[in-house]
Structure 1
Amino acid sequence: MTPSSHASGSLSGIRVIDLTRVISGPFCTQILGDHGADVVKVEPPGRGDVVRSQGNMVNGESWYFAQFNRNKRSLTLDLRSEEGKAILHRLLEGADVLVENFRPGVLGKMGLDDDTLRERYPRLVVGRINGFGSTGPYRDRPAYDFIAQAMSGFMGVNGTADGEPMRAAPPISDMVASQNLAFGICAALVRRASTGQGDIVETALTNGLIAMMGYLAAEFFATDRVPSRTGNDHPMLYPYGLFRASDGEVAIAPSNDTMVRRFLGALDMLHLLEDERFADNPRRMANREALRKILDQVIQTRRVEEWIAHLNQAGVPCGRVHDLRETFADPQVQAQEMRLELAQASGRVPVTGFPVKLREAPASIYHPVPRLGEHTDELLAELGIEGQALASLRAGKVI
């Protein structure tokens, strides 16, 4: 995908100073960049974001890093030095948003505590992600996605009843926190447009996963019973889950009595609703193992694709269980452009596409993934730092 003009994006004209690294934070600022914001990724000289050296390396580039860092410009800056801190302050003078994912208090040690930020940059929107939040007894604890999945209760409701708690494979707390923060930043920018005031926007890895508990939390609040792990079965509906066809598994999700009737009709088994064990959802839940044995005997007689065609025709939600090769080969995924290719100096790099589609101002590729410090000279020139001053900063390893 070839780069286009920032002017077309919904966030065109918004300057973001990005102090984040790894996933939570970089994914947030990438979302802002996808929608036209000018994102300046500030990285330590010499090494940069730690993810630059992780994952599969192709022609010297980390494809892991590429997944979270398109649409940014890279500036190397030693924020431990007084010169580096001074340059950061100059960047903030022209910025709309600052995003960081340090532990609480680290930014304050750089001279950027909340009071200073409010006083010096009253229009600045400060976005931050941390493990547990900046208040509470766990504020200073380190955390990664695995810890957030464990402590939020998310891991505790995933897995089978007779197995151990199970994490989700993708770094879901990082991704959800990044999306939540991007939303919060946009909300703060809308408010600033009418009040002239910036804001401090914060989310935590655990908060996003707890908010996702939805009906599981509602059930716990109502009954004071901890939800049990149900594997791929729905905790409140049956039949709803994975079923074994003759050549693989098919996901089938009739979510109400009307759909259950359609499902059983498609199986030629409407008579099961006359059985008092299966007449309504509470009784089907109480007798799910007996009903599963009956359904399995029928479903395993046909291939997955046959069931998908048959059940879709009957209006029953269903789908094949894809691996990632099958996902990205799926014509619907291709129609939604959920795989893109970035034109990097090292070659074409595939990345996932834009999940949100705006018709009038669609997300786009404005910059490929930057090399470490690729835009340092350009960005400092915008501040009037050139020539001998630039050379002096480089000699002092400030940049």
Structure 2
Amino acid sequence: MGSSITLTPGLLQTAKIVGAMSPRPFLAGTLVIELGEVYSAPFAGKLLADLGADVIKIESLPKGDPARSMPPFARSPSPGAGPRDTSLMFAWLNANKRSVALNLRTITGRKLLKGLLAKADIFLHNKQPKDLEALGLTYEELHAQFPRLVVASVTPYGQTGPYRNRKAYPSTALHMTGASWYTPQHVDALDEPPLSLPGRPAAVMGGLAVAMGALTAIVSRKVTGQGSHVDVSETESVMPTQSTPVNRFSFDGMVEPRNERIYGIGPFDFFRVKDGWTSIFLVQDAHWNRLVKLMGDPDWSKDPIFKDRRTRAQYKEDVTALMQPWLLEQTNEDFYVKAQAADLPIGPARTIDKTLTDPQFVSRRIFRKARHPATGDMAYLRPPYLTPSLPWQTPAPSPRLGQHTSAVLMSTLGLSRRQLTTLAAQGVIA
């Protein structure tokens, strides 16, 4: 038999509380109107939808969100799937949402949007100020009409400042921060052009920031009774990653060179192993000493120039050349196991196929397979957090363009089928 547990009054009370906890999603009953395209705002909307919010995605006619036409696409789409329904990026970003298709170039289309905003808790968008002015959707106008509405915006440069209306892709916003200038950080590449980071880090960080800001504003509204404006700049969202060069310039007036030797740390790089690459970024002498021991205390390691991290950084090429023969005898997995046994913060630089089958990620179920009516079976990446009391549910598939227009306008605004037919004939809805 297993060990017994004494049910103290305190433990019993805790059990009653836990037992009474409802599985109701955290944001259940929260209505979000999302006027967002491609990534930053849709990603924020996805995060809110994952928490249980009812996210209504407003798509502009005639084509809707441009992300519908962006790769990657399903290789074997389901029979009858439309050409704008098979983007895997769109499917992931817009799971758990409803789609309402409006012609916002018409007065009636804009009035319908305003009607939905009157019922909403959060208006999430990635529109620039000039676009909002043209649509009559500036924060000042909305706050005057709907004082409890939280307006959450995420744009490349924010809603104020001289760049507020300048166009930029997320990659442009990233490069404006200086992040790409320091990539790569190799002595033999100091004259090479900057390298763009993979993915969409500025859009992802901006989406995370605006989702967090919207949640904060909702909590604040419970106290003040008033909505507020959450103004997120993608560039500012990336800036925390540049804390070292920012601090160096702020205090020393020095623009940090593209050279990891400036840190006085070594080794601090990627190294080849038998079957790929591994990352060895060691910032403490104690870590270096453990690595040397793992390599068998080679004679060259006894040279005084390798005893201090600053001289190791100075003689980086020599350190690399001396370490490389031993590393090339190791497989990535064997070296990783040995390094971890030696309490070294070292790990493989993996390709995505290895990452997705890694037992760590499999055990935490970062992906969940579900069937999408257009793309077929696909893997959904769960939110980047685990909350046992509010387990993540398999997401509802992303909507077709305008899939929920009639249902939303009837249930939320009280329109009749005859009115919907007229609006569709006028090209206002679809």
TM-score normalised according to structure 2 size: 0.86
Partners of 1:16 and 1:124 in 2: CA distance: 10
Determine whether 1:396 maps to 2:426: yes
Contact 2:103 2:428 in 1 (8 A): yes
Partners of 1:9 and 1:255 in 2: CA distance: 43
Match of 2:71 among 44, 55, 59: 55
Alignment CA distance shift 1:285-1:152 (3 Å): same
Could you say which residue in structure 2 is the equivalent of 1:21?
37
Contact 1:71 1:367 in 2 (8 A): yes
Report deviation, 1:136: 2.0
Alignment CA distance shift 1:272-1:258 (3 Å): farther
Could you say which residue in structure 2 is the equivalent of 1:203?
232
For structure 2, list consecutive stretches of 5 or more residues without a partner in the other structure. Answer: 1-21
Worse-matched range after superposition: 90-99 or 57-66: 57-66
Match of 2:139 among 114, 119, 122: 114
Match of 1:340 among 365, 368, 387: 368
Report deviation, 1:9: 1.9
Report deviation, 1:328: 1.1
Could you say which residue in structure 1 is the equivalent of 2:28?
12
Determine whether 1:384 maps to 2:414: yes
Partners of 1:234 and 1:265 in 2: CA distance: 27
Amino acid at match of 2:425: A
Worse-matched range after superposition: 233-242 or 92-101: 233-242
Worse-matched range after superposition: 181-190 or 205-214: 205-214
Give the secondary structure class of the aligned counterpart of 1:25. Answer: helix
Contact 1:126 1:199 in 2 (8 A): yes
Partners of 2:252 and 2:322 in 1: CA distance: 31
Worse-matched range after superposition: 189-198 or 332-341: 332-341
Give the secondary structure class of the aligned counterpart of 1:351. Answer: strand
1:247-266 deviations in Å (ceiling 9; x for gaps): 32111233323222222221
1:14-71 deviations in Å (ceiling 9; x for gaps): 1100000011111111011011111000002331111112213332421121121111
Give the secondary structure class of the aligned counterpart of 1:80. Answer: coil
Determine whether 1:167 maps to 2:223: no
Contact 2:272 2:324 in 1 (8 A): yes
Contact 1:234 1:241 in 2 (8 A): no
Partners of 2:170 and 2:317 in 1: CA distance: 34
Match of 1:305 among 313, 333, 339: 333
Contact 1:237 1:285 in 2 (8 A): yes
Question: Superposed, which structure 2 residues align to 1:262-341 within 5 Å?
Answer: 262-269=290-297, 275-341=303-369
1:206-256 deviations in Å (ceiling 9; x for gaps): 11122221223223323322223348x995521232112233211123332
Alignment RMSD (CA, Å): 2.1
Amino acid at match of 1:67: W
Contact 1:253 1:316 in 2 (8 A): no
Could you say which residue in structure 1 is the equivalent of 2:19?
none
1:278-320 deviations in Å (ceiling 9; x for gaps): 2322222222222222222322232222211211111112222
Could you say which residue in structure 2 is the equivalent of 1:191?
220
Give the secondary structure class of the aligned counterpart of 1:277. Answer: helix
Partners of 2:70 and 2:272 in 1: CA distance: 38
Give the secondary structure class of the aligned counterpart of 2:129. Answer: coil
Contact 2:290 2:344 in 1 (8 A): yes
Partners of 1:202 and 1:75 in 2: CA distance: 25
Report deviation, 1:326: 1.5
Partners of 1:127 and 1:134 in 2: CA distance: 11
Report deviation, 1:153: 0.6
Alignment CA distance shift 1:220-1:98 (3 Å): same
Partners of 1:358 and 1:234 in 2: CA distance: 41
Report deviation, 1:7: 6.5
Give the secondary structure class of the aligned counterpart of 2:195. Answer: coil
Amino acid at match of 2:171: F
Amino acid at match of 1:194: V
Partners of 1:136 and 1:196 in 2: CA distance: 29
Larger Rg: 2
Contact 2:264 2:314 in 1 (8 A): no
Match of 1:40 among 56, 59, 66: 56
Give the secondary structure class of the aligned counterpart of 1:102. Answer: coil
Give the secondary structure class of the aligned counterpart of 1:141. Answer: coil
Partners of 1:394 and 1:7 in 2: CA distance: 39
Report deviation, 1:134: 2.1
Amino acid at match of 2:406: D
Amino acid at match of 2:277: E
Contact 1:36 1:363 in 2 (8 A): no
Match of 1:66 among 73, 91, 103: 91
Report deviation, 1:270: 7.9
Partners of 1:175 and 1:97 in 2: CA distance: 19
Report deviation, 1:137: 1.9
Give the secondary structure class of the aligned counterpart of 2:56. Answer: strand
Give the secondary structure class of the aligned counterpart of 1:212. Answer: helix
Partners of 2:88 and 2:117 in 1: CA distance: 30
Percent sequence identity over matched residues? 30
Could you say which residue in structure 2 is the equivalent of 1:3?
none
Amino acid at match of 2:400: R
Give the secondary structure class of the aligned counterpart of 1:354. Answer: coil
Worse-matched range after superposition: 330-339 or 297-306: 297-306
1:178-231 deviations in Å (ceiling 9; x for gaps): 011111111111111111111100111211122221223223323322223348
Determine whether 1:85 maps to 2:113: no
